[in-house]
Structure 1
């Protein structure tokens, strides 16, 4: 098995390096004047037309990598070698610097970012060299400087196309590419943002240059031209208008303060892609096809998963205005600590989906999955109101869970978890995973220090979620956990507790359509995802070949006319969507049929859950109340916790005090300022044993 994985990995590396080599060479005069004519003889056949070269060189390799990665991830197993690789990756990913507005940037990220910028500069330089020194097109009989100005605008649009070759990889949630480099869709959202800013800026320059050029040559009406045999300027104009709307509303001032505006505007990406592809044509579309094709497979599979109504078992309303929702799940559903789950509540919004941190452990809690939701923003406030009202059921759909492909919480000698406010929630799943691993006596567990800062005293109730309610003293006996909690806006413990601050638990009645959360393609999710990718892409190639050979080519040959430029691009998009729909639906239904017996048992389990009335109980030991239930885990939290009032944690002192440990993993989740402070300390070089990782809720 190990040898096969090594061969697959080596093949993927070779294919990726070859793919990148083509991107480096495609802007050169050598590729344009010598390689392209030779390749066209063999690749631009009557079955694929002018798009044949780009289809073979730039689409096929990346799609093949995507299929191979499914096999690689499916066969991946935790081993000593895997753990050693994790440690090496941590050293490679150590913090380089904190750069505004980019935020925390590792040495690896900085190196690849500089290489990517170098690629863009290289491409623009080569394109301008071809335009200015090899073949300057001047069809409008403009002045030489005007023709060069137009060529600059055209070529900078070409360079923006490079960004689109990578734009959708970071937002593919069930990506098979990102796990190969240790990334998740959540951790790589920032790359999508960076690429979006760069591409939109380049396309804006491209548009402005052409508007100025057409104004100088009295051709402003070209803005609205739709040439049947060449580039459609009107399609490009429409795409740019949509792009600017998406770009502006994605800026932090809109995205964080007016999320609904950002969310709904960003749903225009489908129209943007359509007009963008019509503008650039089918040959250029094949250059960026892999990341769009894989994104739409992911998007459709998410849609299929979200059509099921998820069984919501219970809700706990915490004194800190947080909610813990517990869902039923199939025992075969596995996920890693720090994973997230997307929720959709139709009674609140028909379109909006929101991600929330999973606090449970799939190894510790076999049949349930829990998430914590903080009441902030209009959507969460409405959900809080719904849960708090007198309802006995709530329609909820879910997507996910999504998280790292592997997460070895015991790879370090000690762990320092730094959380601010609701930033503590990802670490609850980490601690619960350690509890699960503690059942194996041979596993060496790290010492854990949880440093958490809260604004108010009642926010400490979040710590009640660290241990499941049914945990026993033997389950946590090997866990060496210490908690340093800081209450920043209160100087002392409140003497009284308001009645509405008591913790409430609400149980929901099962509904006939409820079903547990399960993997969209079953337990062997990656393997079947590979089947979807391979079958849909092969089907796409066959249909493109048939349509081109028996419909497009006869029109070109028999009528003497060039087949409509825009229709070629539309055929590619239409057939791609059809193939994704057919292949994904067949595999999804086939897997659903195979798991029918298991689904029956799961549904039977869901329906058999007894409905319990809402109950109220003390919020936590922090409020000075006695618990009626088993108190061992809560007594353990009391003994492990030190509460500090009216101060913030001295993070520098806390981190440097861990210098005695050989290998210290430092994870931080919370406000931007806190993340940056911890990153600067870890990157200072004063403590060589600190290995940093940040978890961010906001983009």
Structure 2
């Protein structure tokens, strides 16, 4: 007995040591996160002090320190403006690697509600859409910086007039306009340094701070409007000044070898204006294809900007542009691969379900989404769709729901119906004339499964916005059934639809099959609001079935590619690091063997060479990593690939399950369907906040038609209930099928 008792402290000591070792990566990760924030704050603070005398002196000292070195002025600009971004990216990679790819550690919610700046919305009815407290702080800081920089540079411009030999009010006014235009161009370059960071879909920066691309896109939109407004003022002030001097045409076509070349700037600004005009909300909604095609002019915009300002000025925004180029090159590789569509089913409400083949080693979050291209419909159009299946539903496939809302989706539905007729008249295996060929980018989405870390969930969906919630519900049921970490126990789904024929979308989740007796472990309630029907249809109680027959092209061995920025963090991180090192090596080699020996000093030419170095480093160094990554993916996926007979059984089983009629309404949970009503969010939220009395995760996925009244009503409810001290985390999104 004494021996046993003497051993207990040793066991406890070992257990404590083991727990301590497990905490080390978390501590290191937190430390790295703190360093990342410190670098970012210092980088942003540098922009604020740059218009001051101290900032200018700091910039001049850095330039003088690098004069005569291998990289020259371009190196100093890189250190001041681009190097911090690369440092944050590298630290983010290390942090993600330390986080690992194991099952997420679920933390218990706090005993009382908390207010979180990162997620709590403070503005809904406004030009920015749904804006959280943190986003509002960012908007205010950007606005303050613009006003501050304009005021400081205006004062400096007035002082500089005395240094120029300008006579007469007209000449001084023209000179002041040109100096003001120069300052607006400089401020625009500062905004351009941020512009491309949010639009890189698989960016390690976004992954490190867990902001998915679909949320970060709004920042790109805001920055795009601001950047183009500044560049437009930059060009406009110069044009007015040149016109006052009587040198407008000469200046517009001028292409200086030393100094800023005007004609490339005119071309770059024209491309930017065309992108800007076609991206305005009204024109974009009416003609999305025009917006999409003209937005490809970003290549012209960037290249001619480099020709306009030269290499060292262009490097002010070089980091963001280079990271975007890395992401674009990787997405190009992934999207070239054709993917099997295992099955396609049409619902009476005009919604299509596609089941797509994927490799077993490709992981994604239940809140994931993909970009889809159907080459039989268009070689250029890519459309985003939320994944409607849980990653635990099957290792070899994922499903998406597509609502027919526009021309592209209407053509897709027509092709599926035509194929189903042909397939019913002949043997499917002998059908080769008609097919659907898909290409996929992604999956993208949240890095963390937030839906598993909250005990109480309120899921608000409008129309096809129910799609990601089907994946969430399936994922929670799988975790509960398999005994995996999952806190979710109380779930309320609020779903608003136009017509009752959308109700069969719920049948894509067979809850009893996933988790038998789930109602003993999960409190699930569904409140459905049918807004355009005042009473139930005559066939109430009979769930409409999916249109039959659906098509089942079968499995040909073509799965989604795992070469995605949101995939394996080691390979995606290695891709970024090696390509960046390659950029330094390529630029240094060019300076050693060409620029310095041949005394190349043309600004526009050196800007073009810098763009060439970026592209070459991605092609050579990044391409090598992608090739190795591809070989590794093939090797690992072949190990996890089931036998051919097993494949066929799994595919047939999934197709049979998809065709079997199910009744979501017969499941053992509360399902209230209300006709001719809109959700009373204040009453719904108030009841839940009082009932749970702890933090609630509120997800909102809204179809375009629901955005206005949903956001308005939800915001009013949250604003009123905020007086009760019951706050919630909110994840907002807008869903558009076409």
Q: TM-score when scaled to structure 1?
A: 0.90
In 2 relative to 1, CA 521–157 (structure 1 residues): closer, same or farther, beyond 3 Å? closer
In 2 relative to 1, CA 248–660 (structure 1 residues): closer, same or farther, beyond 3 Å? same
Among candidates 506, 513, 516, match of residue 559 of structure 2: 516
In 2 relative to 1, CA 206–427 (structure 1 residues): closer, same or farther, beyond 3 Å? same
In 2 relative to 1, CA 37–616 (structure 1 residues): closer, same or farther, beyond 3 Å? closer
In 2 relative to 1, CA 566–322 (structure 1 residues): closer, same or farther, beyond 3 Å? same
Aligned to 2:302: 273
Task: Map 1:229-244; keep pairs closer than 5 Å.
Answer: 229-244=258-273
Aligned to 2:453: 411
Among candidates 691, 697, 702, match of residue 660 of structure 1: 691
DSSP-derived class of the 2:31 partner: helix
Among candidates 665, 669, 686, match of residue 723 of structure 2: 686
Aligned to 1:79: 105
Kindly provide the CA deviation profile for residues 206-237 of structure 1, in whole angstroms up to 9, marking residues without a partner as x.
11111111111010121111111111111111
Deviation of 1:196 after TM superposition, in Å, equals 0.8
Q: Does 1:696 align with 2:726?
A: no
Task: Map 1:273-312; keep pairs closer than 5 Å.
Answer: 273-312=302-341
Q: Does 1:258 align with 2:287?
A: yes
DSSP-derived class of the 1:438 partner: helix
Instruction: Provide the C-alpha distance between the structure 1 equivalents of 2:518 and 2:653, rounded to a whole number of angstroms.
Output: 30
Q: Is the 8 A contact 2:364 2:443 kept in 1?
A: yes
Aligned to 1:635: 666
Instruction: Provide the C-alpha distance between the structure 2 equivalents of 1:406 and 1:87, rounded to a whole number of angstroms.
Output: 21
Task: Map 1:517-596; keep pairs closer than 5 Å.
Answer: 517-520=560-563, 525-556=568-599, 563-596=601-634
Kindly provide the CA deviation profile for residues 503-537 of structure 1, in whole angstroms up to 9, marking residues without a partner as x.
3363433465x422242169972222221111111
Aligned to 2:548: 504
In 2 relative to 1, CA 567–45 (structure 1 residues): closer, same or farther, beyond 3 Å? same
Q: Is the 8 A contact 1:375 1:381 kept in 2?
A: yes
In 2 relative to 1, CA 179–266 (structure 1 residues): closer, same or farther, beyond 3 Å? same
Instruction: Provide the C-alpha distance between the structure 2 equivalents of 1:161 and 1:407, rounded to a whole number of angstroms.
Output: 36
DSSP-derived class of the 1:490 partner: coil
Deviation of 1:87 after TM superposition, in Å, equals 8.6
Q: Does 1:179 align with 2:207?
A: yes
Q: Does 1:7 align with 2:38?
A: no
Aligned to 1:646: 676
Q: Is the 8 A contact 1:171 1:295 kept in 2?
A: yes
Q: Is the 8 A contact 1:315 1:505 kept in 2?
A: no
Instruction: Provide the C-alpha distance between the structure 1 equivalents of 2:572 and 2:656, rounded to a whole number of angstroms.
Output: 44
Kindly provide the CA deviation profile for residues 576-598 of structure 1, in whole angstroms up to 9, marking residues without a partner as x.
01111222221121122223334
Q: Does 1:49 align with 2:72?
A: yes
Number of aligned residue pairs: 682
Deviation of 1:266 after TM superposition, in Å, equals 0.7
In 2 relative to 1, CA 40–301 (structure 1 residues): closer, same or farther, beyond 3 Å? same
DSSP-derived class of the 1:399 partner: strand
Q: Is the 8 A contact 2:392 2:478 kept in 1?
A: yes
Kindly provide the CA deviation profile for residues 128-171 of structure 1, in whole angstroms up to 9, marking residues without a partner as x.
23322256664786622221122111111111112101111111
Q: Is the 8 A contact 1:46 1:548 kept in 2?
A: no
DSSP-derived class of the 2:584 partner: helix
Bigger drift between 487-496 and 450-459 goes to 487-496
DSSP-derived class of the 1:244 partner: helix
Q: Is the 8 A contact 1:515 1:602 kept in 2?
A: no
Q: Is the 8 A contact 2:565 2:572 kept in 1?
A: no
Among candidates 382, 389, 395, match of residue 353 of structure 1: 382
Q: Is the 8 A contact 1:409 1:433 kept in 2?
A: no
Q: Does 1:196 align with 2:211?
A: no
Aligned to 1:622: none
Deviation of 1:261 after TM superposition, in Å, equals 0.8
Gaps of 5+ in 1: 557-561, 620-627
Kindly provide the CA deviation profile for residues 465-502 of structure 1, in whole angstroms up to 9, marking residues without a partner as x.
23369535245642221111111111222225999974
Deviation of 1:74 after TM superposition, in Å, equals 2.4
Bigger drift between 86-95 and 381-390 goes to 86-95
Deviation of 1:618 after TM superposition, in Å, equals 11
Instruction: Provide the C-alpha distance between the structure 2 equivalents of 1:332 and 1:226, rounded to a whole number of angstroms.
Output: 53
Aligned to 2:491: 448
Q: Is the 8 A contact 2:579 2:621 kept in 1?
A: yes
Q: Is the 8 A contact 1:328 1:516 kept in 2?
A: yes
Aligned to 1:133: 159
Q: TM-score when scaled to structure 2?
A: 0.86
**Please, what is the CA RMSD of the aligned residues?**
3.0
Instruction: Provide the C-alpha distance between the structure 2 equivalents of 1:31 and 1:115, rounded to a whole number of angstroms.
Output: 18
Deviation of 1:555 after TM superposition, in Å, equals 3.2
Q: Does 1:609 align with 2:609?
A: no
Instruction: Provide the C-alpha distance between the structure 2 equivalents of 1:660 and 1:615, rounded to a whole number of angstroms.
Output: 41
Deviation of 1:461 after TM superposition, in Å, equals 1.4
In 2 relative to 1, CA 632–374 (structure 1 residues): closer, same or farther, beyond 3 Å? closer
Aligned to 2:17: none
Instruction: Provide the C-alpha distance between the structure 2 equivalents of 1:211 and 1:443, rounded to a whole number of angstroms.
Output: 62
In 2 relative to 1, CA 660–158 (structure 1 residues): closer, same or farther, beyond 3 Å? same
Task: Map 1:16-95; keep pairs closer than 5 Å.
Answer: 16-32=40-56, 34-76=57-99, 78-79=104-105, 90=116, 92-95=118-121
Q: Is the 8 A contact 1:536 1:580 kept in 2?
A: yes
Deviation of 1:291 after TM superposition, in Å, equals 1.0
Kindly provide the CA deviation profile for residues 309-364 of structure 1, in whole angstroms up to 9, marking residues without a partner as x.
11211112112110111112222222222211110111111111110011111134
Deviation of 1:569 after TM superposition, in Å, equals 0.5
Q: Is the 8 A contact 1:120 1:159 kept in 2?
A: yes
Aligned to 2:22: none
Q: Is the 8 A contact 1:555 1:563 kept in 2?
A: no
Gaps of 5+ in 2: 1-24, 421-427, 429-434
Among candidates 538, 542, 557, match of residue 495 of structure 1: 538
Bigger drift between 341-350 and 679-688 goes to 679-688
